[in-house]
Structures are given as C-alpha cells and as structure tokens.
Amino acid sequence: MKTKISSSQVVRRFGDYLAKVKYRGDSFLIVKNNETIAELVPAPEGGGGTWNDIVAAVNALPDDPTFADDLEKVNALDQLPENRWD
C-alpha cells in the first residue's frame, strides 16, 4: 500500500522519505492540490547496467537516415535573440 504525502512534506523531509524507501521498502504517492503527481518507490532490483550493456543497447537501435537532417534543422532554429534582455 502506498501512503499519500503532500509535496510540501516531501520538500521538508526528503531525506527521511528516501531512507524509508531504501531501508523499509515503503512506497509513497506524492499529492499536490489533491492530485497525485508522482510516486516515490524503491528502484527495481538489479536496475543498472554496465557500460558494455549501454553500448550494446545503443548499437541495437535501428538506423535513422534522417536523424542528422533533423539535428541540422533543430540547430538552425536555435538562435539567440537580438536583444537578450527583452
């Protein structure tokens, strides 16, 4: 069962909640204005990988021949404004 806690409680006592998740396995629903906005839960066991795992995953991705063109378009649109103080 997940305990509901307010976002302001989390801000004030974040370290305490992390300790409860880590050492007791507690789970929390973080609520703001009566709406659940996030969950704080233990990370899955063995959730991590080595550098070789990451490289293998990236190498397994399909090729996208238009990716370089997309990057060029994005970079062309990324311009500083004439007056940065406006």
Q: What is the pLDDT of residues 29-58, one digit of tens each?
A: 999 999 999 999 998 876 677 889 889 988
pTM listed for this prediction: 0.52
pLDDT at 81: 73
For residue 25, pLDDT beyond 90: yes
**CA atoms lying within 13 Å on the CB side of residue 36:** 8
For residue 45, the model assigns a pLDDT of 79
24 falls within a domain = yes
Judged by phi (left if over 0) then psi (alpha if -120 to 50, else beta), residue 69 lies in alpha
The strand order across the sheet containing 28-32 reads: 3-6, 28-32, 35-40
Q: How many domains does the chain have?
A: 1
29: in domain: yes
Residue 14 forms part of a structural domain: yes
pLDDT digits (tens, 9 = 90+) for 53-79: 889 988 999 999 998 999 999 888 887
The residue range of the domain holding 31 is 3-40
